[in-house]
Amino acid sequence: MAIDMETFENTPEDELQELSNPEKVLQFLIANDDHAFKATEIADRTEINRNSISTVLGRLKDRDLVRHKGEYWAIGDRERIRSFDRYRRATERLNERYGSEDKDAWRAHAADAETPNDESDSDE
């Protein structure tokens, strides 16, 4: 993946390292925290080899960073994830580059139709 020259010039070398597979999975699931996905879809959307995704997801589950039910995977407990150093590093890098997300602003532009996940959101 290409980066712009300003990032190239101003970012320390250790921060330019490519995300690991667990970091890619966490980043994807955090960005899509209102859905659960099959392992093959996570592999396809994160460009992780399908033969590797089960191992990655299993290790993240062992650390309580993702949840698993049936064939589906979703992001785990937010507090647990915040303590995970690689997640923190990836989030900081993305926030510096693109700015932090304003969840309320994002929701204001979301579709009005209810989804099956809306019921579980009302319990929060």
Query: What is the per-residue pLDDT across 21-45, written as a single tens digit (0 to 9) for each?
Result: 988 898 899 889 999 999 999 999 9
pLDDT in tens, 51-96: 999 999 999 999 889 999 999 999 998 777 767 656 667 777 888 8
Averaged over 3-25, what is the pLDDT?
A: 77
Query: CA 30, 74, 117: angle at the middle one, nearest 5?
Result: 95
What radius of gyration, in Å, describes the C-alpha atoms of the chain?
Answer: 16
**Which residue segment(s) compose the domain that 38 sits in?**
18-98
**pLDDT, position 112:** 62
Answer yes or no: pTM beyond 0.85. no
H/E element, 66: strand 66-69
Rounded distance, CA 100 to CA 20, Å? 21
**Residues 38, 73 contacting (CB under 8 angstroms):** yes
**Domain presence at residue 93:** yes
**Domain presence at residue 8:** no
**Domain presence at residue 123:** no
Q: How many domains are contained in the chain?
A: 1
What is the DSSP code (8-state) at residue 80? Answer: H
**Residues 76, 67 contacting (CB under 8 angstroms):** yes
**Domain presence at residue 22:** yes
**Domain presence at residue 4:** no
The CATH number assigned to the domain holding 31 equals 1.10.10.10
